[in-house]
Amino acid sequence: MTDLPAYLRPFVLGVLDGPDVRVDRLGEIDIYRPAGTARTGAMLFVHGGPGPAELVATPRDWPVYKGYATAVARRGLVAAVVDHSLIRGFDQLVTAADEVEAAIGVLRSDPRVDPDRVGLWFFSGAGLLAGEWLDSRPDWLRCIALTYPLLATPPGVDDLVTAAEVIGKHKDLPVLLTRAGREREELAGPVAEFVSAGGSALDIIDVPKGHHGFDMLDHTEESRAAVTKALDWAIAHLGEDPDGVTTASTSPTTTTKTRAKSAPASRKTAAARTPAAAEPLMDLPSPTPTPAAPASQPAPTAPVPTLDPLPTTPAVPVDTPAARVVGREHAAYAAHDLEAFLAMYSPTARIHLADGTELKGRRFLREYYGSRFAAGRCKTEVVQKLMLGEWVVEHVLAYDTGAGVPMIALYRVSEGLITDVELRA
């Protein structure tokens, strides 16, 4: 075991064996499904970074994350692990944030998941991504867990939202911190500041003899107890453990709870990033995001404008995988659910609007569509549809500005995500 890179060493809990958990790979996300068919809460595991220069496997294939996700699924909840770009360096922080946000949308739209019962679990360098969720606290977010997190942005890298500044902003959001007693100095200081800032529901699990990455490096009763307590905490906030099964025995790990004043929230711009010389926080990795575009919903009874006949064949009366993806995008659009809408798009999706504007990437899609979703101006009627392979072509009436505007919408779908959209009026 000592000859293996740290990230390939076994998870401290022996949970990987057994046929009762199904794993589906969707793009950069692995979804772990428990036995049964009932809708459940879900936890997204977000790995750290940057990782070592040469990786044998990306994070979702590391034993530690497979172990956490399997343990959660064994206890009746859906779990997911996302590969994201922070593994390649701190200069990828914004991209990683988009990729994690996209993964959340995919997870929440899964038919086995209760979209209003989702938690986020950040490890190591991914702690830099937690501040934005502590700050925004969407209604569906039931809890946030941080395990040996990095909470201070390295020199030369612009901040997102600093976790210590917003930890007390939403007093009804449970937050768990698992900290290693033998943590590296550059990480331990900001963690202490985070604890000092307190929060409305900050729970702490201490691992006094644990190192950074104790859940794969330190195979001790203390480590097993810490991981088990963290899993118990997550299950308690996302749903009941149906079988009452614990994944390991508990032992001498300290759990404390702190309450303190709320710190003022301050969001810092993180557009262009200066790459910082980054050493791996351990042997750890990361990868992918999501964008957005138009959609559809039945409009009030209104006369259909007269159009010249379209040079297409009648809609094919069968469904296709591409059509199902576009249909989910349309449903999110009609429901004014921006996150679910964006989750249907590839991180590098291109949307060509009817006025000639081109949008590329999740951030620009969010900026363009955010105000429309907030104002409730999302209404489109599909008049005719043609499906062929990865393409979906629709004749639609767009009611975003009131009267129905006839348009042609072309969607291209690859690996379960929309990659290209072209609108023509």
Nearest-CA neighbor of 97 among 82, 117, 118?
Answer: 82
Q: 299: pLDDT confidence band, cut at 50, 70 and 90?
A: very low
| Residue 8: per-residue pLDDT | 93
Per-residue pLDDT tens digits for 282-298: 544 333 344 444 444 44
| Residue 347: per-residue pLDDT | 73
CB 134 within 8 A of CB 167: yes
Task: Name the residue with higher pLDDT: 277 or 285.
Answer: 277
Per-residue pLDDT tens digits for 225-269: 999 999 999 999 997 543 444 333 333 344 454 433 333 333 333
Please tell me which of 13-17, 32-36, 246-250, 314-318 the model is most confident about, judged by mean pLDDT: 32-36
pLDDT at residue 46 above 90?
yes
* 71-74 contact pairs (CB < 8 A, 24+): 71/13, 71/15, 71/227, 71/231, 71/247, 72/32, 72/43, 72/231, 72/234, 72/235, 73/21, 73/32, 73/33, 73/34, 74/15, 74/18, 74/20, 74/21, 74/34, 74/245, 74/247
| Residue 337: per-residue pLDDT | 87
| Residue 53: per-residue pLDDT | 83
Per-residue pLDDT tens digits for 366-377: 888 888 888 887
| Residue 119: per-residue pLDDT | 97
Written out in words, the top-level CATH class of the domain with range 6-258 is: alpha beta
- The full set of domain ranges for the chain reads 6-258, 321-424
CA distance 280 to 261: 34
Q: 29: pLDDT confidence band, cut at 50, 70 and 90?
A: very high
Q: 379: pLDDT confidence band, cut at 50, 70 and 90?
A: confident
| Strands 202-211 vs 141-147: parallel, antiparallel or unpaired | unpaired
Per-residue pLDDT tens digits for 329-359: 998 888 888 888 888 888 778 899 888 888 8
Q: 54: pLDDT confidence band, cut at 50, 70 and 90?
A: confident
| Average pLDDT, rounded, for the chain | 81
For domain 321-424, the question of CATH label 3.20.10.10 is answered with no
pLDDT at residue 213 above 90?
yes
pLDDT at residue 37 above 90?
no
Nearest-CA neighbor of 229 among 209, 249, 208, 200?
Answer: 249
Per-residue pLDDT tens digits for 119-177: 999 999 999 999 999 988 888 999 999 999 999 988 888 778 889 888 988 888 999 99
* CATH topology match: 6-258 vs 321-424: no
Interval 210-223 mean pLDDT: 96
| Residue 278: per-residue pLDDT | 52
Interval 216-233 mean pLDDT: 96
Nearest-CA neighbor of 330 among 303, 374, 298?
Answer: 298
CA distance 157 to 92: 10
